[in-house]
Amino acid sequence: MDTIIMDVRSKQRMGIISYIPLIVFGICFIYYLSVLKPVFAGNTPGNQIGFNTQTSLHYNTLFMLLAISGIISAAVLIYFIVHLARVKHLSSAKKIQWLVFLTAFVPLALPLFWHFEINKEPGILEIYPNIE
């Protein structure tokens, strides 16, 4: 029987990790809004040319920020999926539900998974030795 100790520090660490993708995507969104600020300042309804111009001027930066956000989110998602696969106290149906929810709504689902599952796990957690 393999076990891991899920003390308060471990749960807090996983909680911090779960919020990182949400924060990074939030930074991307705030940057994009700051790029579009001149378009919003014009108060011209339906100014698609302004949106397109501002987006194309900052395309490389936006692409890099979103690529970095995607890579970070993928790494955290894999970390949480491995944790989910190794836990013994969840049924297979519950694991599949969480897996679908996590992969469909990555940045928003990770903090919810931490709050509803990881934060409520017992202190000594029975796990499978691998994810087969």
Domain ranges of the chain: 2-127
Number of Cβ within a 10 Å radius of residue 76: 22
Task: Please write the tens of the pLDDT for every residue from 5-50.
Answer: 888 899 899 999 999 999 999 999 999 999 888 887 776 666 778 8
The yes-or-no verdict on residue 1 having pLDDT over 70 is no
User: What is the rounded CA–CA span in Å between residue 108 and residue 94?
Assistant: 18
- Going by C-beta distance under 8 Å and a sequence separation of 6 or more, which residues neighbour residue 65? 27, 28, 31
User: What is the rounded CA–CA span in Å between residue 1 and residue 103?
Assistant: 29
Q: What is the pTM of this model?
A: 0.86
Average pLDDT of the segment spanning 73-87: 94
> What is the pLDDT confidence band of residue 114, given thresholds at 50, 70 and 90?
very high
